[in-house]
């Protein structure tokens, strides 16, 4: 099992599904870097700083997790922190093709880093950040889908009050 591993993502916002994968991956790795990708082509709802702060709060009880951020190639970031593995979550067959392409591309870039896939609990396998953002935008109850800190910030965003106001 990897001494150092990375769980990368956009985490816009982090969901109970992400947290489930973090918990599972942290049991397998010595140190797990949960790394926010900062250079995605997607236009995020939450700033990198907000996503970073949310991840720090919701993973605070897991001692071997470090929250970090990266831009540029994931495989280069993995090498920088000395990781031998990348964890990704697989929810359904629909995730598979993209994840398969990413894993093989990353292997071609660096054959020393393995991609490992984890399935979340079935309670979370339907959750996606995009659908949760839509529910939040339309004023729905987010408590079944995200940790309370995330629901709170989303509510503040949509009520027009910035963070901390």
Contacts with ligand ADP, residue ranges (CB under 6 A): 9-11, 15, 17-18, 21, 37, 88-89, 91, 95, 120, 124-125, 127-129
Q: Is the Cβ of residue 34 or residue 157 nearer to ligand ADP in the bound state? A: 34
Q: Is the Cβ of residue 81 or residue 118 nearer to ligand ADP in the bound state? A: 118
The residue number with the shortest CB distance to ligand ADP is 17
Q: Which candidate in 42, 137, 155, 161 is catalytic?
A: 42
CA atoms within 13 A on the CB side of 145: 20
- Smallest separation, CB 103 to ligand ADP (Å): 10
Is 91 a known active-site residue?
yes
Is 158 a known active-site residue?
no
* 3-state SS class at 7: strand
Q: Which candidate in 10, 18, 51, 69 is catalytic?
A: 18
Ramachandran region of residue 163, left (φ > 0), alpha (ψ -120 to 50) or beta?
beta
- Smallest separation, CB 133 to ligand ADP (Å): 11
Q: Is the Cβ of residue 11 or residue 52 nearer to ligand ADP in the bound state? A: 11
What strands, in cross-sheet order, belong to the sheet with 85-89?
A: 65-70, 31-37, 4-9, 85-89, 114-118
- Smallest separation, CB 143 to ligand ADP (Å): 16
Q: Is the Cβ of residue 100 or residue 155 nearer to ligand ADP in the bound state? A: 100
Task: Write phi, then psi, for 139 (nearest 5 degrees).
Answer: 85, 20
- CA gap 65, 21 in Å, rounded: 12
Across the strands, what pairs with 65? 32
- Smallest separation, CB 5 to ligand ADP (Å): 13
- CA gap 163, 129 in Å, rounded: 19
Q: Which residue reads 């339907």 in tokens? A: 126
Is 125 a known active-site residue?
no
The residues assigned a catalytic role are 18, 42, 91, 129
């Amino acid at each position: 099992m990897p001494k150092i591993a990375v769980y990368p993502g956009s985490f816009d916002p982090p969901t109970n599904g992400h947290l489930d994968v973090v918990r599972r991956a942290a049991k397998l790795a010595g140190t797990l870097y949960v790394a926010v990708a900062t250079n995605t082509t997607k236009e995020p709802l939450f700033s990198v700083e907000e996503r970073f702060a949310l991840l720090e709060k919701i993973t605070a009880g897991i001692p071997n997790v470090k929250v970090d951020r990266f831009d540029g190639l994931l495989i280069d970031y993995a090498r920088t922190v000395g990781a031998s593995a990348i964890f990704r979550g697989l929810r359904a067959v629909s995730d598979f093709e993209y994840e398969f392409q990413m894993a093989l591309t990353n292997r071609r870039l660096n054959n020393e880093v393995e991609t490992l896939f984890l399935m979340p609990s079935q309670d979370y396998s339907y959750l996606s950040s995009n659908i949760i953002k839509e529910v939040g935008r339309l004023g729905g109850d987010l408590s079944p889908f995200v940790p309370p800190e995330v629901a709170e910030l989303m509510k503040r965003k949509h009520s027009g009050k910035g963070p901390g106001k």
